[in-house]
Amino acid sequence: MKYKYVVSAVAAASMLCSCGSKDGVSASDENKFTLDVLHKGAEIQSTMYGLFFEDINYGADGGLYAEKIKNRSFEFPQALMGWNSYGQVEVRTDGAPFPKNPHYVRLSDPKHAHKRTGIENEGFFGVTTQKDAEYRFSVWARQASANPSKIRVELVDPASMGESHDNVHASIEINSKEWKKYTVVLKATEDVQRGLLRIFLASPNSVDLEHVSLFPVDTWQGRENGLRKDLVQALADIHPGVFRFPGGCIVEGTDLATRYQWKNTVGPVENRPLNENRWHYTFQHRFYPDYYQSYGLGFYEYFLLSEEIGAEPLPVLSVGLACQFQNEDQKAHVPVKELQPYIQDALDLIEFANGPATSKWGKVRAEMGHEEPFNLKFLAIGNEQWGPEYPEHLAPFVDAIRAKYPNIKLVGTSGPDSEGKQFEYLWPEMKRLGADLVDEHFYRPEAWFLSQGNRYDSYDRNGPKVFAGEYACHGKGKKWNHFHASLLEAAFMTGLERNADVVHMATYAPLFAHVEGWQWRPDMIWFDNTRSVRTCSYYVQQLYAQNKGSHTLSMLLGDKPAAGNEGQNGLFASAVYEASDGTYIAKVVNTDSIAHNVTIQLEGLADAQTIAKATRTRIQSEELDAENTLDEPNKIVPVKVDVNLAGKREINSTLPAYTVEMWRFELK
Ligand code: AHR
């Protein structure tokens, strides 16, 4: 991706030089803010800060989706990828129970008492189990001969030095010629990282097996087709206002056949067809040939998750353009006149989310367990599209959706670049088409973030609103979740907040990454098979989301917003009011390499009015390259303290170098 950006001379200078000492503050260093507590500004949308989810970095299969079996339906192009097989194992398709997943395996007698037939699955980076935890094994099976058959299911640790590899096992009798689901709960006796699930044929009679599954019993909300509890908890703990899914580039597909099709992701999980995950081959230098989308985590689950974490769902659908990075030939895309099925998918999705349980798609939702509508309000069409083909494709969607669902807010895109030719072309086009919001993406280096404090100050107030839909500071030569990146994100976010009249949504991206399976970094939450870590960027997102307020307030440094401009000592700031509890919140970010004195003078106070109680929260590190890791997850976390400011009409603080500081206070 090519992009240009302008770095203000001062912002850049503040990265390089400082005019005081690192430890002390010069006496002449005075940074006087005025915070107007009387005049409430724009209303801040509940969607202001949220989450962007994509199945990248094993974010869904192998990640949030708690299924431990890879290729559970034998549908990968290499039907036994992820499996070892031994003895008499055949992959078959005749008489399969789930038409969209036609493959299954037959295990037959190895014809010798000392030989074995079986299959074993390697899981996602191991079938990892934790001592005393319970795992629900299930399989669809039928006896493949006249008599019942038996299987023995084992969780094994092939690296064990014990007498037996067997961690826990169970036998299941397969006693029907019809396909039936068999379930057993296994309680692990060991902590095993690189375990396997092994299934032996345990009788001479053949057996057919399909949809082999293993979930922890303890999932989020205890659901059988469940999500990893620790990961969902991390999402819920942000208090996100919006949840965008399912991507990202996977929405578009490398070709149209592999685009994300939501209808394939609802209904019984066993009959959701597999899709390629483009991230398995996008980067040859990080190649994951076993990365597919099982769709076990599908649109129903995304809607449910949004509801449970209190976020507005924001689905993104294909606009009929295959990924433009991967397809220069226009023939890769659907001609506009053939878009009807795509448009119908969008209309049907709205019915799936909001229609009565008696409607065609509302019924599918209700049968899955959610009789009540999900109350979908937003829908994005197209991910990172560009060129005239995008508005051409988008226009018929807008017409059809507006005609049938005038209240749905539509989200268009300004392409993959944060500025430049395409960006400048697309914004007016989105306005012309009447998009309600425009999705902007910026994965940019430090200097860009430092230069963008005023980005939204001059945006058109009569056009679409902004959805900063994918962003993260990608440190120059430092593509990991180091503290400095999060500091600059925090600085930039003050500009989002100050302009909350025009910025209605912002989501950091990507969200998740498996430490053994990532293609893209930085990411907000890293995990392995049992642990997860909240990065510094996570804590910045959380701080802003939990303290987003209901209305903006004016907070000026001298007579200007603090946005890292000339003479502002690398300081950025914003302030909001929270009507639900009557608190005032001021955020100040010191991006400079030295400490700065800050005074926040409260304006608009009644004569006797003063601060009642106050807390100060800081996210701070002098080590710019420091990060939280799985082994050291709490290296940099927000630190909150009560500060006695009773009776005061101003806040005085010395912000250490490289500090995100937030004051939350009440008045009396
Ligand atoms: O977040 C990773 C990718 O970045 C997304 O899939 C895409 O939209 C963007 O290019």
pLDDT digits (tens, 9 = 90+) for 50-84: 999 999 999 999 999 999 999 999 999 999 999 99
> At a CB cut-off of 8 Å and minimum separation 6, what does 601 contact?
32, 33, 34, 35, 649, 650
DSSP 8-state assignment for residue 61: B
Q: 56 in ligand 1 pocket by Cβ < 6 Å?
A: yes
Q: 416 in ligand 1 pocket by Cβ < 6 Å?
A: yes
Q: 508 in ligand 1 pocket by Cβ < 6 Å?
A: no
Residue-level pLDDT at 478: 85
Residue-level pLDDT at 24: 64
Residue 11 CA: distances (Å) to CA of 120, 338, 384, 447, 588:
57, 49, 29, 8, 16
Q: 384 in ligand 1 pocket by Cβ < 6 Å?
A: yes
Mean pLDDT of the chain: 95
Residue-level pLDDT at 391: 98
Q: 522 in ligand 1 pocket by Cβ < 6 Å?
A: no
Say if residues 246 and 55 touch (Cβ distance below 8 Å).
Answer: yes
Report the separation in Å between the CA atom of 502 and the middle of ligand 1, taken as the mean of its atom positions: 23
Give, using CA atoms, the residue closest to atom 3 of ligand 1.
248
Give, using CA atoms, the residue closest to atom 4 of ligand 1.
248
Residue-level pLDDT at 27: 66
Give, using CA atoms, the residue closest to atom 6 of ligand 1.
248
Which of ligand 1's atoms lies nearest the C-alpha of 470?
Answer: 1
Q: 157 in ligand 1 pocket by Cβ < 6 Å?
A: no
d(CA 573, CA 333): 44
Residue-level pLDDT at 521: 97
Q: 54 in ligand 1 pocket by Cβ < 6 Å?
A: yes
Residue 315 CA: distances (Å) to CA of 51, 65, 129, 246, 298:
12, 18, 33, 7, 11
| CA diameter of the chain | 95
Beta bridge partners of 126: 123
Q: 253 in ligand 1 pocket by Cβ < 6 Å?
A: no
583: exposed, middle or buried (Cβ count in 10 Å: 0-12, 13-18, 19+): buried
Task: Given the residues 276, 384, 440, 661, select the one marked as catalytic.
Answer: 384
Tokens 């019993």 locate to 217
Is residue 4 scored above 50 in pLDDT?
Answer: no
Give, using CA atoms, the residue closest to atom 7 of ligand 1.
248
> At a CB cut-off of 8 Å and minimum separation 6, what does 399 contact?
none
Which of ligand 1's atoms lies nearest the C-alpha of 443?
Answer: 4
Report the separation in Å between the CA atom of 615 and the middle of ligand 1, taken as the mean of its atom positions: 37
Report the separation in Å between the CA atom of 84 and the middle of ligand 1, taken as the mean of its atom positions: 34
Say if residues 166 and 235 touch (Cβ distance below 8 Å).
Answer: no
Say if residues 415 and 386 touch (Cβ distance below 8 Å).
Answer: yes
| Confidence band, pLDDT 50/70/90 cuts, at residue 169 | very high
Q: 383 in ligand 1 pocket by Cβ < 6 Å?
A: yes
Is the CA virtual torsion 557, 559, 563, 565 positive or negative? negative
Q: 246 in ligand 1 pocket by Cβ < 6 Å?
A: no
Give, using CA atoms, the residue closest to atom 9 of ligand 1.
248
Report the separation in Å between the CA atom of 380 and the middle of ligand 1, taken as the mean of its atom positions: 15
Which of ligand 1's atoms lies nearest the C-alpha of 54?
Answer: 6
Is residue 161 scored above 90 in pLDDT?
Answer: yes
Region 308-319 average pLDDT: 98
Region 628-654 average pLDDT: 98
d(CA 553, CA 488): 22
Region 560-564 average pLDDT: 98
Report the separation in Å between the CA atom of 406 and the middle of ligand 1, taken as the mean of its atom positions: 29
pLDDT digits (tens, 9 = 90+) for 341-370: 999 999 999 999 999 999 999 999 999 999
Radius of gyration of the chain (CA): 27
Report the separation in Å between the CA atom of 249 and the middle of ligand 1, taken as the mean of its atom positions: 5
Q: 470 in ligand 1 pocket by Cβ < 6 Å?
A: yes
| Side-chain half-sphere CA neighbours of 299 within 13 A | 29
Q: 520 in ligand 1 pocket by Cβ < 6 Å?
A: yes
Report the separation in Å between the CA atom of 493 and the middle of ligand 1, taken as the mean of its atom positions: 20
Question: To the nearest whole percent, how much of the chain has pLDDT over 70?
Answer: 96
Give, using CA atoms, the residue closest to atom 5 of ligand 1.
248
Report the separation in Å between the CA atom of 317 and the middle of ligand 1, taken as the mean of its atom positions: 14
Residue 226 tokens, joined: 């469940």
Is residue 7 scored above 90 in pLDDT?
Answer: no
Residue 499 tokens, joined: 């302009």
Which of ligand 1's atoms lies nearest the C-alpha of 509?
Answer: 1
Region 456-470 average pLDDT: 98
Which of ligand 1's atoms lies nearest the C-alpha of 247?
Answer: 6
Residue-level pLDDT at 25: 73
d(CA 160, CA 460): 64
Q: 417 in ligand 1 pocket by Cβ < 6 Å?
A: no
The pTM of the full predicted model, rounded to 2 decimals, is: 0.95
Among 3, 51, 56, say which to mutate for ligand 1: greatest number of ligand atoms within 8 Å of CB: 56
Give, using CA atoms, the residue closest to atom 1 of ligand 1.
510
| Confidence band, pLDDT 50/70/90 cuts, at residue 479 | confident
Q: Can you say whether residue 280 is alpha, beta or left, with left for phi > 0 and alpha for psi between -120 and 50 degrees?
A: alpha
Count H helices and E strands in the chain, helices first. 10, 34
d(CA 547, CA 555): 16
476: exposed, middle or buried (Cβ count in 10 Å: 0-12, 13-18, 19+): exposed
pLDDT digits (tens, 9 = 90+) for 21-34: 445 677 678 899 99
122 annotated active-site: no
Is residue 484 scored above 50 in pLDDT?
Answer: yes
> At a CB cut-off of 8 Å and minimum separation 6, what does 592 contact?
14, 18, 569, 570, 571, 657, 658
Query: 3-class secondary structure for 78-131?
Result: CCCCCEEEECEEEEECCCCCCCCCCCEEEEECCCCCCCCCEEEECECCECCECC
Question: To the nearest whole percent, how much of the chain has pLDDT over 90?
Answer: 95
Report the separation in Å between the CA atom of 470 and the middle of ligand 1, taken as the mean of its atom positions: 7
Residue 282 CA: distances (Å) to CA of 361, 519, 557:
34, 8, 45
Which of ligand 1's atoms lies nearest the C-alpha of 416?
Answer: 10
d(CA 401, CA 397): 6
Give, using CA atoms, the residue closest to atom 8 of ligand 1.
248
Report the separation in Å between the CA atom of 228 and the middle of ligand 1, taken as the mean of its atom positions: 23
Q: 154 in ligand 1 pocket by Cβ < 6 Å?
A: no
Say if residues 27 and 596 touch (Cβ distance below 8 Å).
Answer: no
pLDDT digits (tens, 9 = 90+) for 401-454: 999 999 999 999 999 999 999 999 999 999 999 999 999 999 999 999 999 999
d(CA 668, CA 367): 53
